Amino acid sequence: SVTFSITGAIVRPLVYDKPWLRAAGEREYEHGAKQGMEEAGIKCSKEEYLQWFMRNWVGGPLVALQHLVDGALCIPAVLKMGDPRVYSSLACLVIMNEMGFEVQDVIKTLYFFTPAEVPSFVLFLTFIHHSLTTCLGLPTMLCYRNLSTLHWLCFDLQGAAAVSTFIYEYTKILDVTKRG
């Protein structure tokens, strides 16, 4: 999306090639990424992987931030604060935002990455992962927009995605070999 592109363009130069980010990429390469790429048939040197990692790392925290904002938009509906038409609309906005993100991510994957970069099984998993919100979001909003269970579900899913992604990205940059 435009927001991700603009924010990424601002943040990427601030973190690119920083020692902590390069070290995180090296750890990830040695602890599974190298083997995973080989098993997927992707040929990539360590330096190529590090360049890719440093160029794309900022996307993870941005995805977490997007889920955090969406989860926060569900709070009025979960707490039933204010006019039900307004808080229900905010929860529906979250669903539409997520649907838009899912469609945008699939299009980006298809357009910007070659089959060598994205093996067919990864593409399949991407479609399965993103198809759930895309296929179920609109009918759910149309039929159950005022259902408090839907508002809670949106809040829980967005919050869980935000928390787990922030933790995941934070643990990437931790160096557990150093004390203190």
Q: Hey, where are the domains in the chain?
A: 2-173
Show the beta-strand stretches assigned E in 7-104: none
Least confident of 22-31, 54-63, 120-129: 120-129
| pLDDT (0 to 100) of residue 39 | 82
| pLDDT (0 to 100) of residue 88 | 97
pTM above 0.95, yes or no: no
Name the percent of the chain lying above pLDDT 70: 97
Q: What does the alpha-carbon distance between residue 94 and residue 101 come to, in Å, rounded to a whole number? A: 10
- Phi and psi angles of residue 58, each rounded to the nearest 5 degrees, phi first: -60, -20
| pLDDT (0 to 100) of residue 175 | 84
Sequence-ordered list of residues with C-beta below 8 angstroms from that of 144, at least 6 positions apart, any chain = 150
pLDDT category at 180 given cuts 50, 70, 90 is low
pLDDT at 3 over 80: no
In this predicted model, what pLDDT tens digit does every residue of 67-78 receive, in sequence order?
Answer: 999 999 999 999
| pLDDT (0 to 100) of residue 101 | 87
pLDDT at 93 over 70: yes
What average pLDDT does range 168-175 have in this prediction?
91
Name the percent of the chain lying above pLDDT 90: 59
pLDDT at 42 over 90: no
| pLDDT (0 to 100) of residue 1 | 63
In this predicted model, what pLDDT tens digit does every residue of 95-152 receive, in sequence order?
Answer: 999 999 888 888 888 887 777 677 777 788 888 888 888 889 999 999 999 999 999 9
Nearest to 167 by CA among 72, 98, 68, 70: 68
Q: Would you state the structure tokens that stand for residue 69, as one six-digit string?
A: 């904002």
Count Cβ neighbours within 10 Å for each residue of 125-158 and write b for 16 or more, e otherwise: ebeeebeebbeebeebbeeebeeeebbebbbebb
